[in-house]
Amino acid sequence: MHVLPGPPPTHTGRCRSLPFTIIAALILAVTRFVPTGTLQIPPNDFMLIAWNPGQQLMHHRFVDLSYPYPLWTPVLLLPFALWSPETGAQLWLICNLLLLAVSVVMIMRLVRWPCSFAAIAIASLLIGSYDPVFTSLWLGQTVFVSLAALILLLQALQSGHWTAVGALLGISLIKPQAAILVTMAILGLSVWQRRWEVFAGFGAVLLFFLAIAAPFAATPRQILGGGVAEHLRLYLAQTSTLWGLSLVLVSPSLVLPTLVSCLLCGWVGYLWISALRTSRSAERMMYLIVVTTIVNLLIIPYSWSYNHALLVLPFCYAMSQAWRLSGRSRLVWIASLFGLIYPFSRLIYTTLTAVHQSDVFQIIPVLLFLPFMVALQRHVDRSSKQIRY
């Protein structure tokens, strides 16, 4: 596997990472606090994900069997359960803001946008205004760990740090469904390229997770999420996925979403294999991971709209690709992208989600974003060939 091209790190860039991150965190905090008019957030999902299971671990050394996350997740979040639910939720909010701020700075470097205070502020304002980002911060979800791991994964692939690649795939298992397709693709790529260091890094993190979770498991199945099957039965028709949308709008049968999911997985596999066979995996890596992330959000059976915060990376990549175009094409693609992210997504929420009190319909913008991303990439590729020749 070739190392992805990227700008060499500079001493100035490293030194300015801290102030850029602080600016991004402050802007993101404003987008979170101003709409609600309060500096506090209620415990919300933080209680379910971290505080309640954390209290069970500390006092009883077990977690309820209905807990749907891997057992290592509440163990890792145990420091946030040492306080009252309200205090723990505020500390976790600060952690999430910092994770998101770091992600903003790293994304700007990945897509080679100018790292200035103005650019960081604008990017942070736009990202913080994206509904799933706001919702994830408000609820206290763990999706920003997945986002940061995904971005760091791309950086590790750029620099050829294969053990770090594997370790970051392992870290993504904190919320495994959010990037499981990306994990499978990179592991498959590592087999193809015989990058065994990736498996060493992945195995080391996985063994660590198993070691800290196993002492608290009532059954082996609980280590990976004892309540997953129960949650699927209860909420499948309510999730913001292709499965939920199909069950609500088309048929109560699972045949259609199963078929579509298999076809999308096959198509993603074809993209990766084609890039490998043509020795273009390095130059196409970011696009491959972006598309795989979008498809992952569509086909996993259990996911909610706050997980769409992962689309921050694909959206920024799409913006950088549209910016490579010239004249009217650039304007049309960028305007269409903004329309899809903000007014259209808000329209779906007000006319369908809020009316029917169902998160199912929030997958519609993601469903439209997939062909949008593919069409944009093809347009950019054609334009690059025309310029070259």
Do the domain assignments include residue 3? no
pLDDT tens for residues 239-249? 999 999 999 99
Question: How is the chain split among helix, strand and coil, in percent rounded to 5?
Answer: 80, 0, 20
Do the domain assignments include residue 117? yes
The model's confidence at residue 387, banded by pLDDT at 50, 70 and 90, is low
pLDDT tens for residues 321-330? 999 998 899 9
Q: Which amino acid is at 21?
A: T
Q: Please answer whether residues 300 and 91 qualify as being in contact, where contact means their C-beta atoms are separated by less than 8 angstroms.
A: no
Q: In the predicted model, is pLDDT for residue 311 greater than 50?
A: yes
| Number of other residues whose CB lies within 10 A of the CB of residue 178 | 27
Do the domain assignments include residue 234? yes
Mean pLDDT, residues 22-47 taken together:
89
Residue-level pLDDT at 40: 81
Do the domain assignments include residue 5? no
pLDDT tens for residues 115-133? 888 999 999 999 999 999 9
Residue 226's nearest CA partner among 53, 82, 360, 92 is: 53
Q: In the predicted model, is pLDDT for residue 366 greater than 90?
A: yes
Q: In the predicted model, is pLDDT for residue 147 greater than 70?
A: yes
Q: In the predicted model, is pLDDT for residue 291 greater than 80?
A: yes
Domain that holds residue 333: 11-388
Residue-level pLDDT at 338: 96
Residue-level pLDDT at 378: 95
Do the domain assignments include residue 198? yes
Residue-level pLDDT at 133: 96
What is the per-residue DSSP string for 147-214? HHHHHHHHHHHHHT-HHHHHHHHHHGGGSGGGSHHHHHHHHHHHHHHT-HHHHHHHHHHHHHHHHHHG
Q: In the predicted model, is pLDDT for residue 360 greater than 90?
A: yes
Q: In the predicted model, is pLDDT for residue 93 greater than 50?
A: yes
Burial of 251 (0-12, 13-18, 19+ CB in 10 A): exposed
Do the domain assignments include residue 297? yes
More confident residue, 133 or 385: 133
Residue-level pLDDT at 1: 42
Residue-level pLDDT at 162: 96
Average pLDDT of every residue of the chain: 91
Mean pLDDT, residues 25-45 taken together:
88
At a CB cut-off of 8 Å and minimum separation 6, what does 251 contact?
none
Structure-token match 């084609």, residue found? 274
Distance of alpha carbon 118 from alpha carbon 102, whole angstroms: 16
Residue-level pLDDT at 13: 45
Total domains present in the chain:
1
Q: In the predicted model, is pLDDT for residue 319 greater than 90?
A: yes
Residue 182's nearest CA partner among 76, 325, 300, 340 is: 300
| Number of other residues whose CB lies within 10 A of the CB of residue 193 | 14
Do the domain assignments include residue 330? yes
Do the domain assignments include residue 1? no
